Amino acid sequence: MSADILIINGRLFPESGSSDLVDNGFVAIRNGLIVDVGPMTDMTGYETGNLIDARDTLVMPGLINSHCHAAMTLFRGLADDLELAAWLNDHVFPAEARHVSPEMVYWCSKLAAAEMLLSGTTTVADGYFFEDKAARAFCESGLRSVAAHGVIDFPAPGVPDPSRNIEAAARYIGAWRNRDPLVTPAVFAHSPYTCSTETLKKAKMLAEENELLFFVHVAESQIEQSMIRDPWGETPVKHLDALGVLDERTVCVHCVWVDEEDLDILAGRNARVSICPQSHLKLASGYAPLSGMLDRSVKVGLGTDGAASNNGLDLFREMDMCAKLQKVRSLDPVAVKARDVLRMATKAGASVLGFDNRSGAIRKGYLADLVLVDLKKSNLQPFYSPDNLVYAAGGADVRDVIVDGKIVVREGHPLTIDLDETLFQVRKIANHLA
């Protein structure tokens, strides 16, 4: 038999939930898929041009970032430690109005792609302006993406006339639908407080007509709650539900200020959720009620949000923060476990993004999106259990990354991205801001 890539001698962590590590295992990859996996003793003869010796590494599923605004790497650290309103109105929005351009989105999304791949993320759900440039940056970088075109009822970069926002999204979808196996287009309506009911419904309809995902920020802050309650007399989640836009192809991002009824609605509609704990902390939005979601079997993924509000795109760090935060929130160290957040960043994240039973685990027939973690790092020893991936590992411990059956990071170096050129271009754009 032949394999495009054959990984041997690795410690395998095939999926979260199964606590069993395979001490010495192999993975065979062909045509972008995992074709075989198991202990070395079960491996039959393979011919391959690409043998990876995974000794002293842990082979695990690639991480899935279910919410990001990749191009916002440009605004990383531009304005920290501020009130949300001041941060948005005095810094982020003006900087976006002045500096977001097709070129900016392309290069800053490429920087984000580098940061994500190097830290073990193999799939990202992104949403921004000029999203075609982001999609191009992702697929050139070899990063799998669900790349969503932003819809908002304000003049936006690339869509100066908000009355044409749905049209612009439709054009984007037409251009990217079935264009590249790495890119799935989608629609991102900004939020119930920046989109009219009409816009929300039309955006969802556009997504449905194309059988694509519909994203929306919802219930992020306490202020948003009152912005919806005052005119509509309901919570942001109930507002969306009344519009009929909540279903299994809708991803509700944030869901911090949701009550028990909201959680019941999300569960009842089988809507998907993405939470971004570090962004919620840094902007002091609050704590998403994760236990309440998991108790209801709501499918919840983990997102980094944009680098302006995090300020990094490392999902290992996000997992750590997520588990710890939920413990202290409830003063219960058992509240959310390492394996829960590992699932959120892999299998559950895959499910949120429409890759059910295709991604998020190392199984025969699954997409070949894999990460090799360097177990020789001083911060990862001893390695008694996969819990170390949450509480001790960081993105910098990632050695090799494979996406869609192609090696994109080797020994900590990106093979698909010219990092020097990318940094040069991003710095050039950043110099205009500083």
CA 181 – CA 166 distance, rounded (Å)? 24
Q: Residue 388 CB, nearest distance to its own copies (Å)? A: 4
Answer for which of 67, 317, 347, 399 binds its own copies (CB under 8 A) is: 317
Binding mask 386-425 for its own copies (x = CB under 8 A): -xx--xx-xxxx---------------------x--xx--
- List Cβ neighbours of 83 (8 Å cut-off, separation of 6 or more): none
| Residue 114 in the binding site for its own copies (CB under 8 A) | yes
CA 5 vs. chain centroid, Å, equals 26
The amino acid at 228? I
Tokens of 361: 């685990």
Residue 122 binding its own copies, by CB under 8 A:
no
CA distance 96 to 88: 10
Least distance (Å) between residue 17 CB and its own copies: 14
Residues 35-64 that bind its own copies (CB under 8 A): none
> Least distance to its own copies from the beta carbon of 23, Å?
11
Beta carbon of residue 238, minimum distance to its own copies (angstroms, whole number)? 23
Please name which of 125, 114, 70 lies closest in space to residue 424, comparing C-alpha atoms. 114
Quick check: 78 binds its own copies (CB under 8 A)?
yes
Site string for its own copies, 184-223 (x = CB under 8 A): --------------------------------------x-
C-alpha neighbours within 13 Å on the C-beta side of residue 13? 28
- Strand, helix or coil for residue 104: helix
Per DSSP bridges, beta strands 22-30 and 5-12 are: antiparallel
**106: helix, strand or coil:** helix
- Residue placing its CB nearer to its own copies in the complex, 146 or 276: 276
Min dist CB 271 to its own copies, Å, is 25
* Contacts of its own copies in 81-110 (CB under 8 A): 81-84, 87
Positions 250 through 279 that interact with its own copies (CB under 8 A): 278
Rounded to an integer, what distance in angstroms lies between the CA atom of residue 270 and that of residue 262?
12
Residues 363-392 that bind its own copies (CB under 8 A): 376, 378-379, 381-385, 387-388, 391-392
Residue 86, sorted as left (phi over 0), alpha (psi -120 to 50) or beta, turns out to be alpha
Partnered with residue 290 across adjacent β-strands are none
Nearer to its own copies, 54 or 417 (CB): 417
* Nearest approach, Cβ of residue 256 and its own copies (Å): 10
